[in-house]
Amino acid sequence: MHPAHYIDGGFTAAGDGFPLIDPVDGSVRGQVPEASAETVDAAVSAAARARQGAWGRASAADRAVALRRIADGIEARFEEFVAAEVRDTGKPRALAAAMDIPRAIANFRAYADLLYGRAEQAYLSADALNYTVRRPLGVVAVISPWNLPLLLLTWKVAPALAAGNTVVAKPSEVTPSTATLLAAVMHDAELPDGVFNLVHGHGAGAAGEWLTRHPGVDAIAFTGESATGSAIMRNAAEHVTPVSFELGGKNPALVFADADLDQAVAGTLRSAFTHSGQICLCTERVYVQQPVFDAFLGALAAGARALKDYGPMISAAHRDKVLSYYRLAVREGAQTRAGGGVPAFGDQRDGGFYVEPTVLTGLPQDARTIREEIFGPVCHVAPFDTEDEAIALANDSRYGLAATVWTRDVSRAHRVAPRIEAGIVWVNCWNLRDLRTPFGGVKASGIGREGGGHSLDFFSEPVNICIQI
Ligand code: NAD
Ligand code: 6OH
């Protein structure tokens, strides 16, 4: 399917647009339509109208049935979704088939399940009964990034619809394809017209920004860079539009000498290099206790050099950004223990946007390479002595999304984990997800939590009703 806007129950003919580039070989794969301000207006108006219609009156049970139909619809076109995600991102097929598309399906099923069993507290006193109902916010703008395109879009669309809202979604301009397929699935699932709308286009000065400034948008759910979050918040301030933000990270891993070293190495290879480091949860700072520093570093660097089946950076611009950090690290005094450059494959991938999985050492904590999010297949490994020192190093960051702790000492795990300034701490694992749990970051890594009831809370407003008795 060619990328197209989907507004008020219909796909619109693609107008002017921009090329869709294949990151594997740099070739042009198609055209993406760029939404005009009028297109964005039309999408928001359709969503506002749909709010007043059947969807606004649908019971939770009806909405759950619709969410299950959407999940079934994605499942029925599984291979098409996988192929589209692989084409847009260049990620290994196995990753899209094991993570991105199954999680998108699970996102809809999880919120169909979660709609039940949520009861608000009622308060009975001598003179009154107070109870609370939750009302949808209205029109929700969902703005999502390119790294896990369908997973992160549906992570917000599913709970927004579950809570009874209508949606205008804007996926990343570089990964429009699975969102377009999702619109087709919504259409076939016979969602009322205007409940789900999709516009394509850029962010600043384009569809993304216009959505966030739009007076008809009642809430903004955004995943992307922290700097973009700041810009959105400034624009959202105009209409006091509430925001939920999942932003960047500079995630630490703490490897204690008492860890299962093989497990810690394998886990850190996954956490640093899955999807070539282009996941907000990926580890970029590794701190290793002195007695096992050399053994860990040797095994991690060997593991990074042995990686073969990895995908490209999403774009030429992002490849250039990551490579500029590889060079900056060396200027800042780093030693490159693995990678550090551009791989030569001897095939069409040499026209694509690949960089080598890279392991660095030797940088001081105040180096820019240690402080700034790179979002590529790269981590820096530094030693520490004591538990307190490890925690201080982990927390010495403006970001606070996720952390991993590798130790076999149960007491240590429970002592250390709650002291780390991050929204998510994984002990002896990484990216093990239960969709009911709170997901999000502290400091510059986000505002609010999504997941389970946390998402349903953001996407709805409590209304207290007081009855005199
Ligand atoms: P990005 O911030 O550049 O873009 C994200 C989305 O915002 C895109 O759809 C883009 O078009 C839009 N956008 C850009 N500028 C905008 C503006 N001024 N107003 C409105 N919309 C605008 O991020 P990206 O490069 O697509 O994704 C990578 C970043 O996302 C990394 O920083 C990564 O850490 C972060 N991320 C965070 C999480 C998380 O859950 N915390 C998950 C994935 C990615
Ligand atoms: C960021 O790139 C990854 C985010 C993952 C999730 O939001 C999730 O729910 O697993």
* pLDDT tens-digit series, residues 160-171: 999 999 999 999
CA triple 158-159-163, angle to 5 deg: 120
Nearest to 199 by CA among 215, 210, 189: 210
Q: Residue 40: what pLDDT? A: 97
CB 452 within 8 A of CB 436: yes
The predicted-structure confidence for 149-160, as pLDDT tens digits, reads as follows 999 999 999 999
What is the C-alpha separation between 126 and 448, in angstroms, rounded? 37
Q: Residue 1: what pLDDT? A: 86
Q: Residue 16: what pLDDT? A: 81
Whether 246 is catalytic is: yes
Query: Between the CA of residue 312 and those of 21, 24, 128, 131, 140, what are the distances in Å?
Result: 12, 6, 62, 53, 32
Atom of ligand 2 nearest to the CA of 278: 2
The predicted-structure confidence for 277-303, as pLDDT tens digits, reads as follows 999 999 999 999 999 999 999 999 999
Over 60: is that where the pLDDT of 117 sits? no
Amino acid at 14: A
Q: Which ligand is nearest to the CA of 434?
A: 2
Nearest to 32 by CA among 195, 208, 180, 228: 180
Q: Residue 123: what pLDDT? A: 94
Q: Give 160's contacts (C-beta < 8 A, 6+ positions apart).
A: 140, 142, 167, 221, 459
What is the C-alpha separation between 388 and 382, in angstroms, rounded? 15
CA triple 108-274-261, angle to 5 deg: 120
Q: Summarize the confidence of residues 121-142 as an average pLDDT.
A: 95
The predicted-structure confidence for 437-469, as pLDDT tens digits, reads as follows 999 999 999 999 999 999 999 999 999 999 999
Q: Summarize the confidence of residues 115-144 as an average pLDDT.
A: 90
Q: Residue 115: what pLDDT? A: 81
**140: β partners:** 167, 219
CA of 447 relative to ligand 2 center, distance in Å: 15
Over 70: is that where the pLDDT of 428 sits? yes
For ligand 2, is residue 281 a contact (CB within 6 Å)?
A: yes
| Mean pLDDT rounded to a whole number for the chain | 97
Over 80: is that where the pLDDT of 83 sits? yes
Q: Residue 285: what pLDDT? A: 99
pTM score over 0.95 = yes
What is the C-alpha separation between 286 and 297, in angstroms, rounded? 10
What is the C-alpha separation between 327 and 385, in angstroms, rounded? 29
The predicted-structure confidence for 62-78, as pLDDT tens digits, reads as follows 999 999 999 999 999 99
Q: Residue 118: what pLDDT? A: 64
The predicted-structure confidence for 300-326, as pLDDT tens digits, reads as follows 999 999 999 999 999 999 999 999 999
What is the C-alpha separation between 45 and 49, in angstroms, rounded? 6
What is the C-alpha separation between 145 and 143, in angstroms, rounded? 7
Active-site annotation holder among 34, 173, 209, 280: 280
CA of 98 relative to ligand 2 center, distance in Å: 14
CB 156 within 8 A of CB 130: no
Q: Residue 121: what pLDDT? A: 80
Instruction: Kindly report the backbone phi and psi dihedral angles of residue 79, in degrees, each rounded to the nearest multiple of 5, phi listed first.
Output: -65, -35
- Both structure tokens of 166: 């209508």
The predicted-structure confidence for 191-235, as pLDDT tens digits, reads as follows 999 999 999 999 999 999 999 999 999 999 999 999 999 999 999
